[in-house]
Structure 1
């Protein structure tokens, strides 16, 4: 199997305030709230950690390995940062990075490729899923996890947008074929030797003649939304603020379960597994650009 680069300790940045919350059709929801200190989210810790992990998200494993072996660590950092759009125009790449980190660290599904690593410059537009990951369920059963991230101040609108994108994807045979071809063509970049490559190819493109390996498609969804913090709330004691904001966020996300379950009941999604991750932000519109700006400094 491919090694994951985002380890379990990435999750130490967050409170897992809803852990594998049950949704319709055996799907799950996880709410990760960024640690709180001094009545604010610990964005400085998040920025530092994402900066440390950016190269694994933005570049192929083979490219990262080659640059490390050549002691070209400065090139490694520069090449990774150059993939990101300028922060002033960057609306969605933060969500893509966070989804990648959560699928690797929490779901234990290492990436095959990300949309970002296919870009030849920061202004490129690459169609397809935000990321593609491989999840091992058993020695014989695997899933390709296709990533879809949405950052919207209103979490219910984010749900609608995410499932709208997935619906279009599933209704387009050409898009699914494109993703399969892309996975096949890019796979060699994620394997360090021929044996690993052949093993992964057998898993990802199984033959019906080989009844010992089964592959299905699933979806990983990231939803970032805005949680307003009032002046009165910000003046609470540290302990009261922490308790108050976590409960407030949890209530908002639980309300959004109705929107999620409404989508998951649709016949379009029968047979597909969904892994849904939610992270709240204060002042989302500005914070998502600020975080990207600080990562590439």
Structure 2
């Protein structure tokens, strides 16, 4: 692999895998992972700690990260990463973007090429386009650029709808917007210092005239969906064992009920020839938790 992933596989130990690589339309995969439950509540504190550890590599370019690390400017490294995040009060989406990055790296083993956050010059500025671009090696001659899209909606059905609408928008104008994303990777990634093999391979994948080998590149989409698993007072009174089973079954049934709708979206003509990697995570009190976790990350 030309690049290494920065999120270790043990990040996934924070989650209970309810559905893993569940088949959906056209040979695609869906994953439903729930944060582990302790004392009848999702273990948010453990997730906050782990996201704090990976934030610097997510928010900063590889060259910025390596430069500050080599100079042992660790405080600057952390401060720069935190400064990229928007204020928690107006921050509705960045938690999903970070979790998408973490899932694609730790579960799919697809290292990031670029994230929306590292392009920001102002923490309150919104960067349009894909939430991130990752590279997945299929075999020695075939690679995929994965364009990320994350949505955090209380209603999962609405989140699914909005995610596919955003992806359809990326495909408008005869792939013009996807080509723009590739140009962003080209201009921001290749100017950084990497090992010679990585640069050589990525040039061949990013610049058609450089591809003097039989290398194939396809486009695909990574989707992260967070939704609200509303927990009732009666459910909270259950024993720890019964609570876990009840909540895990509840979110599993909610996702399985939406599989036909997800398949209908994937089957649309716009998405023929594209692969999908879908990750779904339930939250309790989503609106409150996502702001709280961003606030913790910005501390």
Normalising by the residue count of structure 2, what TM-score does the alignment of the two structures yield? Answer: 0.96
Contact kept in structure 2, 1:206 and 1:214, CA below 8 Å:
no
Contact kept in structure 2, 1:151 and 1:224, CA below 8 Å:
yes
- Structure-2 residue corresponding to 1:263: 265
58-67 vs 176-185, greater mean Cα deviation: 176-185
Contact kept in structure 2, 1:32 and 1:277, CA below 8 Å:
yes
- Structure-1 residue corresponding to 2:243: 241
TM-superposed deviation, 1:196? 2.5
> In structure 2, how many angstroms separate the alpha carbons of the residues matched to 1:263 and 1:83?
33
Change in 2 beyond 3 A, CA 1:189/1:14: farther
> In structure 2, how many angstroms separate the alpha carbons of the residues matched to 1:204 and 1:257?
34
Matched, 1:78 2:79: yes
- Structure-2 residue corresponding to 1:177: 179
Change in 2 beyond 3 A, CA 1:209/1:124: closer
- Structure-1 residue corresponding to 2:144: 143
Contact kept in structure 2, 1:61 and 1:189, CA below 8 Å:
no
TM-superposed deviation, 1:193? 3.4
194-203 vs 174-183, greater mean Cα deviation: 194-203
- Structure-2 residue corresponding to 1:28: 29
TM-superposed deviation, 1:16? 1.0
Q: CA RMSD of the aligned region, Å?
A: 1.3
> In structure 1, how many angstroms separate the alpha carbons of the residues matched to 2:294 and 2:18?
25
SS of corresponding position for 2:252: helix
Contact kept in structure 2, 1:206 and 1:213, CA below 8 Å:
no
- Structure-2 residue corresponding to 1:167: 168
> In structure 1, how many angstroms separate the alpha carbons of the residues matched to 2:210 and 2:69?
39
Contact kept in structure 2, 1:64 and 1:76, CA below 8 Å:
yes
- Structure-1 residue corresponding to 2:203: 201
Structure 1 residues without counterparts, runs of 5 or longer: none
2:285 to 268, 279, 283: 283
- Structure-2 residue corresponding to 1:251: 253
Cα deviations by residue, 1:243-277 (Å, 9 ceiling, x for unpaired): 11111110011111121011011111000000000
Contact kept in structure 2, 1:219 and 1:275, CA below 8 Å:
yes
Cα deviations by residue, 1:110-150 (Å, 9 ceiling, x for unpaired): 00000000001201221110000000000000000000000
Normalising by the residue count of structure 1, what TM-score does the alignment of the two structures yield? Answer: 0.97
Contact kept in structure 1, 2:31 and 2:278, CA below 8 Å:
yes
TM-superposed deviation, 1:168? 1.2
Contact kept in structure 1, 2:204 and 2:212, CA below 8 Å:
no
TM-superposed deviation, 1:60? 0.7
1:215 to 204, 217, 234: 217
> In structure 2, how many angstroms separate the alpha carbons of the residues matched to 1:95 and 1:183?
21
Contact kept in structure 2, 1:96 and 1:130, CA below 8 Å:
yes
- Structure-2 residue corresponding to 1:158: 159
Contact kept in structure 2, 1:151 and 1:223, CA below 8 Å:
yes
SS of corresponding position for 2:110: coil
Contact kept in structure 1, 2:204 and 2:211, CA below 8 Å:
no
TM-superposed deviation, 1:239? 0.8
172-181 vs 219-228, greater mean Cα deviation: 172-181
TM-superposed deviation, 1:189? 5.2
SS of corresponding position for 1:124: coil
Q: Say how many residue pairs are matched.
A: 297
Structure 2 residues without counterparts, runs of 5 or longer: none
> In structure 1, how many angstroms separate the alpha carbons of the residues matched to 2:239 and 2:191?
51
